[in-house]
């Protein structure tokens, strides 16, 4: 199957293509086909991912896979959540990380979780939806230069390393996106799943 990865985020492209390697799919880079993604203005991760996947599938007439992810911090009542990529109207990962640390100055409850929703949309309108989550803590400062986004600040429960300190393969085995990708892989292990069971109205 030829599949468009519906993102221009290099980190997401690397994780998705690595996480789905071996399925025999041919990945198409959105940056090479001049399709501009629609605004992410929905109310949930799944809806935002579906907006992008459905739009790209309709424009390219190929299946498209989109991701929407977010960091939810308990002490911030779930913020930044679906606004993680534009938290504080900051322009880049470093500024968003600094903004998060400023918001959490003096906060002792550092619990947080990462969430990913993956939507695989087909040109005929059918969807597959997968979700992955991982819980952890927000550190007092960044550690590591791997990954992207809030990875240097997030330490998953049970580990002494942030996502920013883990090689891609190790991060994939436990991360929110890795878990969603694994669910997709398992669903396609013996060929495409029955569409009657995955249609979303």
Which tens digits make up the pLDDT trace of 7-27? 999 999 999 999 999 899 999
pTM of the model: 0.91
Q: For residue 143, which of 168, 160, 167, 162 has the smallest C-alpha distance?
A: 162
Question: How do 64-73 and 2-5 pair as beta strands?
Answer: parallel
Domain boundaries, the chain: 2-197
Residue 127 CB partners (closer than 8 Å, separation 6+): 50, 53, 54, 119, 120, 121, 198, 199, 200
Domain 2-197 has CATH 1.10.340.70: no
pLDDT > 80? residue 72:
yes
pLDDT of res. 190: 74
pLDDT of res. 99: 97
Tokens of residue 168, six digits:
């891609």
Q: What are the catalytic residues?
A: 68
């Amino acid at each position: 199957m030829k599949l468009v990865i519906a993102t221009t985020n290099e980190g997401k492209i690397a994780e998705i293509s690595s996480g789905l390697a071996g399925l025999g799919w041919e990945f198409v880079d959105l940056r090479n086909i001049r399709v501009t993604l629609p605004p992410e203005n929905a109310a949930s991760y799944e809806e935002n991912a579906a907006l992008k996947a459905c739009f790209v599938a309709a424009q390219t007439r190929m299946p498209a896979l989109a991701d929407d992810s977010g960091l939810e911090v308990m002490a911030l009542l779930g913020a930044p959540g679906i606004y993680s990529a534009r938290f504080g109207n900051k322009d880049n990962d470093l500024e968003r990380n600094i903004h998060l640390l400023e918001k959490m100055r003096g906060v002792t409850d550092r619990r947080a979780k990462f969430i990913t929703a993956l939507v695989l949309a087909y040109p005929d309108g059918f969807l597959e939806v997968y979700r992955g989550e991982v819980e952890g803590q927000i550190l007092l400062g960044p550690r590591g230069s791997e990954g992207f986004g809030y990875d240097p600040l997030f330490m998953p429960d049970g580990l002494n390393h942030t996502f920013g300190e883990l090689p891609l393969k190790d991060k994939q085995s436990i991360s929110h996106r890795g878990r969603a990708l694994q669910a997709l892989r398992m669903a396609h292990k013996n060929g495409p799943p029955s569409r009657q069971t995955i249609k979303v109205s």
